[in-house]
Structures are given as structure tokens and as C-alpha cells.
Chain A
Amino acid sequence: MKNGEVVLKGLNRRVFEDMMIKSMRRRLSVLGEWKITLAQSAVSAEPLDENTDLNEAVEICRRIFGIVALSRAALLPKDMDAILENTGKYLYDELSAAHTFKVNAKRSDKSFPYASPKICEILGERLLNEFPDLSVDVHDPDIVVTVEIRDRGAYVHGNQIKGAGGIPVGSSGKAAVLISGGIDSPVAAWMMSKRGLRLCAVHFASPPYTSERAELKVHSLLKKVSEYSGRIDLFVVPFTEIQEQIKDNCPEELFTIIMRRFMMKVSEKIARKNDCGALITGESVGQVASQTMYAIACTDEAASMPVFRPLIGMDKDEVITIARKIDTFDISVLPYEDCCTVFTPKHPRTRPVLKYVLEAESALDCEKLVNDAAEGARYVLIDSMRK
């Protein structure tokens, strides 16, 4: 493609633009060198090498939070003949596949001699001649051909592609997600990353109850999330000792609730050490026994930082829809034991009372167990720059 570019637009908050441009620059760098500019509230990225893989560039940009919509555009000289000559060629595939179209012109550079309605008229006529099967539909066209006359030149593009939305990663700070390997936690992580949070992740490993494959599964899940969120600092916590201690010393029906309280405490410790301002979990009210309102109240009490639970009011199928969209579902359903399936009590308490939970917990040396686990955590960097 000769005049290949990617133009990004729809950015709604100026203060985040720098952050977004920074992350675009970093992520697009795997494909080569780019000139990234911000003008008239649209960001444009122009490859310096014309052999750059633009399909992949679009895939990368579709995963950058903060971008509401994007289009792949040709940059033409600000010359009506050039526009007429090249638009049909540049959008050949899309126009051939469409039945109806309309032209949309925006002239922000008022020195251009043709007014917007005139551009639409001349270009529309030309395209009708070039594509005899095409007809005009101004209300519901298959394709909108957009011409934008800007300072740098004339941008021509077809339909917009929906971006990932949200706000740029990092603009809201950093939080730590508790990740088990199930369907929910990667979705929760993705949702909070969409709201501008950079991610840390805490995974609990209980060898020999859980295997190396269970941890590798978490790596794969986080890699998928990091296509959106950028790099993730993963901490793998040795959890066997804690689980065995609970199992040996606490009432069976409180096993899960006490275990989850420990997870919160260990995660908070790691989160604070790594400048995180909140925890993120994939809990949803009533989904399982440990996620009833009463159980969540007991779990919540274990942490003093805010706990974000973006899935709290979602149904499983709604979560699965997102998991499929971000491509984590097929990984999540691999059948390995994880820390949550080990020792599951037959009849877990669905209405635990905090007072009794604390009483049961007092049989353990909580502080030492939490400290040992947090300090024993192993660090893994997850960064899948989409290549």
C-alpha cells in the first residue's frame, strides 16, 4: 500500500492523550518506526517504512484502551484531482462489496477551495461512475467514505473500526488482581484495565495439589490480558502451607471462606509493596458458596484497601461472552486442579458469621503465615507485545 496509515480518533479526554500516545508508540514499535502525531483531537500513526504490516497495526491499536474508534486511512495531497483519482482505488475492496454508500466530507482546513458539500457531490459522482452497481443511501449506507481535509493533507477512509474503548492504561493507577485460572478473574482484570488501571497479578500455587501446568495456564491467561493491559507483574505465592494449616485446624465448612481471607491478606501485602491502590477479584454475588453476600462480607473484612469486583452483578453467560471476546475462555476451561478446587468442603457455609470465622482463624498464626507466603512469592514478568 502506497499511502498507508492508521488514523485513530474519538479520543475524548485531552489529559490522557499523552499516556495513550506513549502506549501506542511502545506497542507499535514491534512493527517498525512510526510517526505519531496529535492534531485536531485525532491521533494519527504513520509508518515510516511503507512495507509495515498495517493489518497487524490495526490489531494492536484495537487493543489499546482509550481508543474509541479507529480507521485505516490513505493520506493524499490536498488536491481534488488526487482525491478523485485515488479514493476508488484505495477503497476498492470495500466499495466492490457494498451495495450502498455515502460520502462524508470534513473540511477543517478552510483554505481548501472546495466546501464539504461540494466534495461530497464531486466524489460521489466519480464513485458512482467507477462502481456502477453502487447506489447512494444517505440514511443507512453499507459504507461511509470519509474525506477529511486537515492541515497535513487529505485523509480518506472507509468505515470506522470499533476500538477497545475505556481510558488509557495507567491513567487510573495500579491494582492487583487475584487470578486462579478460572473464567472470571481474567475478565475482571481486563475490565479494570479498561478503566485505566495498570495490572499486578497474584496467583496462589499449592504444589503438589496444583501442578506446574496450572501455573502455566495462568501465564497464558495473563498474556492474553496483557495484549490489552500492557505488561503485568505476576507474583506466584506458595500457598500449600496455608491451605494445609486451615484444613488441619479449622472447621471444614469454613475452609473456603478462611482460605479466601488469607488470599486477600497476602495479596494486599504484595499490592502495597508494589504501589497498588486496590485489589481486583472476579467475584459475582451468588455464583458459588464463597460468593454469597455474607461470604463476601467476611472476605472483604480481611483487606483494608478497596476491592474492585467488576463482575459483581454479572451472569455467568455475560462473563463468558467477554472471556470469548478477549480469547481467554478456551484457556480457562482446561481441566487442571487449581488452588480453589483443592479441599473444597462438601457443605460450605453460605452464611458465615464474621465472629465465628475470626474465632476459627485464631487457631492459626495468621501473621506469620501471611508474611511467609508474601515473602516467598516468585516474580514473573508477563508481557506479550502482540507481534
Chain B
Amino acid sequence: MECYLDNSATTPVCREAADAVYDALLNNWGNPSSLYKKGIEAENIVESAREAVAEKLSCRSEEVFFTSGGTESNNIAVLGTAASYGKKGRIIISSVEHSSIEEPAKKLEKAGYDIVRLGVDRYGMIDENELYNAVTPDTILISVMAVNNEVGTIEPIRSLRRAAAKTRALVHVDAVQAFGKTDIRPSAIGADLMSISSHKIHGPKGAGALYIRGGFKKDRAGVRISPRTFGGLQEKTLRPGTEPVPAIAGFGAAVRALPDTAAELKKITLLRDYLIDSLRAVDGVVINSPPDALPFVTNISVLGIKSEPMMNYLSSVGIYVSSGSACSKGQKSRVLRAMGISDENISSALRISFSRFTTSDEIDMLINGIIEGRKKIRSSRR
């Protein structure tokens, strides 16, 4: 039996999404921009997916723009906001953002923008007062993630709007890990921009979306953002290029297949509590995630056993967990470091992440795996 517990990296594709992809590939392969019927049919698929996403976000479908995924949405949010603003202002992010926020911010920093990275506490949480104090009249963007991808911290994103109130700053929320697991809605939290991704909610890879409050207007009314790629008229020129209809169709189907979040959250919370209870049976395990984290993600350290050997061992017996963000391929976690976690604990960190398909049997299997791994792997401690 395989046991996949790395759902923050990606999720297995659900039946509904796979069927929609297959159908679009074989039966609706037209170009959505073509004027004839074949094109219109493909366009209908894209628009139907857009409606599904809009419904889930409680926004209008004109406010949803398809991209290639979370990374592109985040890049457009950061670089597009900076490009549309006349001068080099201040951008506020947190020190635990995903690399697709941190890296474009770093690029802007080199170009002369003033990047402020909010510190976090032991649990990866930003400080609201620090945020309020960081905002200046020339602040153009505040971007903080809704849920941290490595430890599951739920950030106080409602405070972003309050912080931005006295300025023209836009508020962006990276909701890649929150979408589909919480009922996050941009209007409820006052976000101007929000990024989401298909493959984190059992959809196919290669699709994501950026929510833009009021839509994208070339006359620069409303939210001011500039495209980062240029070409045709697709996605109202915000993100030109022929739409990947199959991926978008799968994204739409995955969104429609999402269960009621409140009931789901209860179930996942029970599983998480079961995981933490079971981990008590293992020597030297510390929990790095906050007690009130989104229960889909739990970060632990198995003291004395480096992450990579443990991960390799677990993988050899069909159990998949990660040592951090899959996007940083084994580098030491920037997030755990920002949380002030010791080097020893960082080097033995494991991320266990659930999906709605996770069962308690899988947790039992993981616990056994960790216990066995502990016995087999020599401690790195002296």
C-alpha cells in the first residue's frame, strides 16, 4: 500500500477532474478564440470553469483570471502591481512567504523598491502591530499568505486591509494552501488580489487563477495592475496565450467536486489530533506547527534523525512525506529559520500534509514507518 502524505506539494487528481481533462483533450480541443462553433465550445468550457471558481470565491466571474498556477498568479500580483505604479514604492511581505512571492520581491529590491519583510513569531505568525507600523504613504502592495505551506500557520490576513486603509496600497493574499480547505473569500477579507492553484485541490497541474477585485481594466480604473506577458486578447490581455483548456476544465471540475469545507475541516482536525496523539508514542518528536494551525499541514522534527534519510527510508516503504517546500528541493527551510527554530530541529524536520482522501490507516502506517526508521537510521546526534 502506498501512503501519500505530502498533499501540500501536490494532490492526487480526483476522478471528476481527470474525466474533465480527458473529455476536453479528446472532444473539445478547439481554440477558445476561434470564431466558429468548435472555438465557442472550447470557450464555453473555460467560462464554465471560471464560473465554478467565482462561485467558490463568492465573486463575479469577470474577476477571475486563469494563469498557469500559483507561482504565476503570485508573480503577476507582485511584479504587475509594481509595474503599474509610477515610482518605486514600498512592498510589504512576510518572511515566510512562498518562493514565488519572495523571489519576485527580491528582484524588485535589486531594482530599487523598498521591500519590508515582516518577522514572525515561534509559530510563523506575523505581528499585526509590526504590519501597521510598516505601512507608509508610498506603500504599493501588502502581500501575505493565508496559510503557510510548510507549517500550516493561519495568518491574520484580515488585518492587511485595515493596515492598507490609510494608503493606496493593494492587498494580495496567496491563498494557494487555503483555497478549497477553508471558505476563504476575497471580499470577506478585503483582498484586492488573491492567488489560487488547481493541483493543490485535486485538479491537474498547469492551471491556477488570480482574483482581481473589479476585474482587469485597461483604463486603469479600479485595481491597477499590469500584465507581465504580452500577446493576444486572452484573459482580457492580463495573461495572453491560448488557454490550456484541458487543465482549466480539470480545475473547474475539481472546484465543483470540493466538499463542504466546515464538515471537511472537522474530519481533518480529528485526523490531525490522531496524528499528534500517535506521535507521542515516538521518542524525541517535536511539533513545529502551531496548535491552531490549519489541520491539513503538520510540521514535526524527529530529533537526531536528519530529514533526508528519514524521507528516503519512508519512501522506500511507500510512505511519502517531505522535508519542506517541494519548490526548494531540499534546501534548508527559510520558514523554519524565520520561526527561530534551531538548526538541529530544522535539519530533522518533516512535513506531513493531508487531503480529504487521507485516512487514519495511513497515519498508522506513517507512525510505524517513523518508528522503524528511527531504529534503522543511525542518529546524527553525538
Contacts and interface: CB of A to CB of B under 8 A. Distances in A.
Interface of A: 207-213, 244, 247-248, 252, 334-337, 342-343, 345-346
A244 B329 CA distance: 26
Interface stretch (B26-34, B71-79, B143-151, B307-315): B307-315
The binding surface of chain A is classed by DSSP as: loop
Contacts of B380: 343
B378 A336 contact: no
A366 B308 CA distance: 28
B308 A248 contact: no
A342 B309 contact: yes
A244 B379 CA distance: 10
A337 B306 contact: yes
11 contacts: A208-B313, A208-B373, A211-B311, A213-B330, A252-B382, A334-B330, A335-B330, A336-B308, A343-B378, A343-B380, A345-B382
Nearest to B307: A337
A-B pairs, 7 with minimum CB distance: A208-B313, A208-B312, A209-B309, A337-B308, A211-B312, A335-B330, A208-B309
Most chain B beta carbons < 10 A, residue from A208, A248, A334? A208
Interface centre among B312, B330, B331, B376, by most chain A C-beta atoms within 10 angstroms, is B312
A208 B376 contact: yes
Contacts of B316: 207-208
B329 A208 contact: no
Given A208-B316, A208-B376, A336-B330, A346 B309 contact: no
B328 to A, nearest CB: 9
B378 A247 contact: yes
Nearest to B310: A208
B329 A335 contact: yes
Contact of A207 (B312, B373, B382): B312
A334 B329 contact: yes
A252 B380 CA distance: 11
Nearest to B380: A343
Contacts of A244: 378
A118 B83 CA distance: 63
Contacts of B308: 209-211, 336-337
Contacts of A210: 308, 312
B165 interface: no
A244 B309 CA distance: 13
A244 B377 CA distance: 9
Contacts of B378: 244, 247-248, 343
Nearest to A209: B309
Contacts of A346: 382
Contacts, number: 44
B309 A337 contact: yes
A209 B378 CA distance: 9
A367 to B, nearest CB: 23
Contacts of A213: 330
Given A208-B376, A213-B330, A336-B330, 19 more contacts: A207-B312, A207-B316, A208-B313, A208-B315, A208-B316, A209-B308, A209-B312, A209-B377, A244-B378, A247-B378, A252-B382, A335-B329, A335-B330, A335-B332, A336-B308, A337-B308, A342-B309, A343-B378, A343-B380
Interface string B18-32: 000000000000000
B380 to A, nearest CB: 7
Q: Give the most central of A209, A212, A248: most B CB within 10 Å.
A: A209
Interface of B: 306, 308-313, 315-316, 329-332, 373, 376-378, 380, 382
Contacts of B312: 207-212
Contacts of B313: 208
Contact of B377 (A208, A212, A252, A336): A208
A241 B281 CA distance: 28
Nearest to A213: B330
A335 to B, nearest CB: 5
A346 B344 CA distance: 13
A342 B305 CA distance: 11
Nearest to A345: B382
A380 B330 CA distance: 25
A334 B376 CA distance: 26
Contacts of A335: 329-332
A227 to B, nearest CB: 25
A335 B376 CA distance: 23
A351 to B, nearest CB: 21
Contacts of B315: 208, 211
Contacts of B311: 211
Question: Which of A252, A335, A346 has the most CB atoms of chain B within a 10 A radius of its CB?
Answer: A335
A210 B310 CA distance: 10
A217 to B, nearest CB: 11
Contacts of A211: 308, 311-312, 315
A252 B381 CA distance: 11
Contacts of B329: 334-335
Contacts of B382: 252, 345-346
A378 to B, nearest CB: 16
A252 B379 CA distance: 13
Contacts of A207: 312, 316
A209 B376 CA distance: 10
Contacts of B309: 208-209, 337, 342
Nearest to B313: A208
Nearest to A243: B378
Nearest to B331: A335
A332 to B, nearest CB: 14
B370 to A, nearest CB: 13
Contacts of B376: 208
B255 to A, nearest CB: 33
A249 to B, nearest CB: 12
A92 to B, nearest CB: 35
A252 B377 CA distance: 17
